[in-house]
Amino acid sequence: MHPLTAIIVDDEDLARENLQMLLQEYCPEINVIGKAGTVDTARKMIRELKPRVVFLDIRMPSGSEGFDLLEELREEKFFVVFVTAFKDYAVRAFNANAIHYVLKPVDIEDLRMAVGKLVEAAKTFEAYPENYTQYASTLKTLKEDIIHNKPSGKITISHAKGIKLVKDDDIRYVEADGNCSMLHFTDGSRYLDTRTLGVYEEMLNPAKFYRIHKSHIINMNELVEYISEDGYYAVLKGGVKLPVARNRVPDFTQRMKNM
């Protein structure tokens, strides 16, 4: 596979130069063909050069400018890697939407990991170009999460043929499966995702979801009963019975009383 052409969009000269240097030295899969310091320049550059990837700072200077740029260029087919100083809630939003991102200051290993995932996504979308429509919807959901600071109620799951958007209300519980996670849905179906349970704990809305055990996160809206007989258990709709870790019992029962 040929290197993916890319442009870097950031209002700081030093940040653009630094990222280009890191990509040239550590990421041969990427070929930087342009750099832009303003949204106007970036818009023109994307339309003329048609890069496969845009490394985009979403604080240039306001967080919404970068998203406005993406909405204007929805017909252009490119991937986005957000390079951002946003943390905490924003990281949860990035993970929930399966969007590639790198936190500032840029760590080489994080950059390599993001580029690796990007290359795999590019291969998938080359085979299934119709997935770009879903990808555009995912970016719009991300904007709602970050700029308007409200959980969208949706998460994105990558799969062999592209990406799948699901409502978090449809998730009954998430179960650790080695370094992966098995999502159990309210309709009885299941889906294996390559992200760990720790990632799901970070990205799922804490107002809805609670980690009851090292192996399980439950949707509290699916909770029916708590049992403390021969151990501690949460009983969910559908008759699912899951163990609650002893050290989580006080917090869990308090959470139930506050529902």
d(CA 156, CA 98): 6
For residue 157, being part of any structural domain is answered with no
Residue finishing a domain among 117, 152, 187: 152
The pLDDT assigned to 89 comes to 62
206 upstream amide cis, omega within 30 of 0: no
- pLDDT tens digits along 163-182: 778 889 999 999 999 988 99
Of 181, 255, 185, 252, which Cα lies nearest the Cα of 222? 185
3-state helix, strand, coil in the chain (%, to 5): 40, 30, 30
Q: Are residues 112 and 218 in the same domain?
A: no
Q: What percent of the chain has pLDDT over 70?
A: 93
d(CA 238, CA 187): 9
Q: Which residues pair with 243 in a beta bridge?
A: 233
Is the per-residue pLDDT at 95 higher than 80? no
User: Mean pLDDT of all residues in the chain?
Assistant: 87
The pLDDT assigned to 18 comes to 95
The pLDDT assigned to 88 comes to 65
The pLDDT assigned to 136 comes to 80
For residue 45, being part of any structural domain is answered with yes
Q: Are residues 125 and 185 in the same domain?
A: no
Q: Are residues 17 and 90 in the same domain?
A: yes
pLDDT, greater one: 182 or 122: 182
Is the per-residue pLDDT at 79 higher than 80? yes
Is the per-residue pLDDT at 158 higher than 70? yes
Q: Are residues 134 and 196 in the same domain?
A: no
Residue finishing a domain among 118, 152, 186: 152
For residue 82, being part of any structural domain is answered with yes
Residue finishing a domain among 107, 123, 152: 152
Q: Say how many Å lie between the first and final Cα of the chain, rounded.
A: 52
- Joined together, the tokens standing for residue 170 give 């449809």
Q: How many residues are given for the chain? A: 259
d(CA 138, CA 96): 10
pLDDT, greater one: 129 or 8: 8
For residue 161, being part of any structural domain is answered with no
For residue 99, being part of any structural domain is answered with yes
- pLDDT tens digits along 46-73: 999 999 999 998 876 556 778 888 888 8
Is the per-residue pLDDT at 10 higher than 80? yes
Q: What is the CA radius of gyration of the chain?
A: 20
CATH number of residue 58's parent domain: 3.40.50.2300
Is the per-residue pLDDT at 205 higher than 90? no
Q: Are residues 24 and 126 in the same domain?
A: yes
Of 30, 75, 89, 90, which Cα lies nearest the Cα of 54? 30
Q: Are residues 179 and 77 in the same domain?
A: no
Q: Which residues of 135-149 are buried (b: 16+ CB within 10 A; e: fewer)?
A: bbbbbbbbbbbbbee
For residue 90, being part of any structural domain is answered with yes
Q: Are residues 143 and 177 in the same domain?
A: no
Q: Are residues 148 and 172 in the same domain?
A: no
Question: Could you tell me the residue range of the domain that residue 17 belongs to?
Answer: 4-152
Q: Are residues 28 and 77 in the same domain?
A: yes
Count of the separate structural domains present in the chain: 2
Angle at 82 between CA 78 and CA 84, to 5 degrees: 160
- Do the Cβ atoms of 222 and 172 come closer than 8 Å? yes
CATH number of residue 240's parent domain: 2.40.50.1020
User: H or E element: which one contains 212?
Assistant: strand 209-213
Q: Are residues 131 and 231 in the same domain?
A: no
d(CA 45, CA 10): 13
Highest mean pLDDT among 34-43, 56-65, 197-206: 34-43
The pLDDT assigned to 61 comes to 58
d(CA 113, CA 45): 26
Q: Are residues 117 and 29 in the same domain?
A: yes
Q: Are residues 175 and 225 in the same domain?
A: yes
